[in-house]
Amino acid sequence: MERVVAGLPVVTGPQWPGVNYFCTTRAGGVGVAPHDTLNLGRRAGDDPDTVTENRRRVRAALPAEPLWLRQVHGSEVVDADQADLPDEPAVDASVTARPGRVLAVMVADCLPVVIADAQGTVLGAAHAGWRGLSGGVLENTLAAMRAKAPQASGWRAWVGPGIGPQAFEVGQDVLDAFAKDDPATLRYFTPRPGISGKWLADLAGLADFRLRRAGVQEVSLSGMCTVAESERFFSYRRDGETGRMALLAWLDPA
């Protein structure tokens, strides 16, 4: 679903009570190639002043400054409501039960995933590449949310734009990382004809599988491929040096 928020073209999923979320695109910023235009990543090789201006534009669409993360392709989760958080915690997911607390994850092929309960009382956002996904970042995010809101129920998730199943070529190491956890995930890997030891992996399908297995009843997939949609999204796999989009999510302010 496409929208314009504070003058920025964004994509989002189903409307949930008490929850706001969207993923930025590459449009609406001030950057120049190869980071054109709305690059939000400070470590993507872009001009720092350009990134600052792009983040200022995104901030205008939000109720508060986001909790930016220094993502490490891991599976750890930070509680965004705790006091004395470091600047840009080195984790790949965050959770909140505080209205107006804005969570953020940056992506450029990896999956941005937002999770909430049906009542809109607790929220999580995760950066899920294959390493984090196979390492349990989504399960860990859900567990942290359950710990913060033990009475919450009716879990739902949106899996945003990421590398699609026709573009994500992987090797034996990636297949093994998922298959050792659950052989049922092998159905999300398609052998490349004539190329031994290579598969096409359905990353969004793997996220869907793991979310549902963890107890998320409603999972919505964007179906958007960052590699294929070059005019709309940054893609590290496609371009190498490029910018970063961001998923922003928050509970309705009180």
CB 105 within 8 A of CB 21: no
Express each pLDDT in 105-124 by its tens digit. Answer: 999 999 999 999 999 999 99
- pLDDT category at 1 given cuts 50, 70, 90 is confident
Predicted confidence (pLDDT) per residue in 190-206, tens digit: 999 889 999 999 999 99
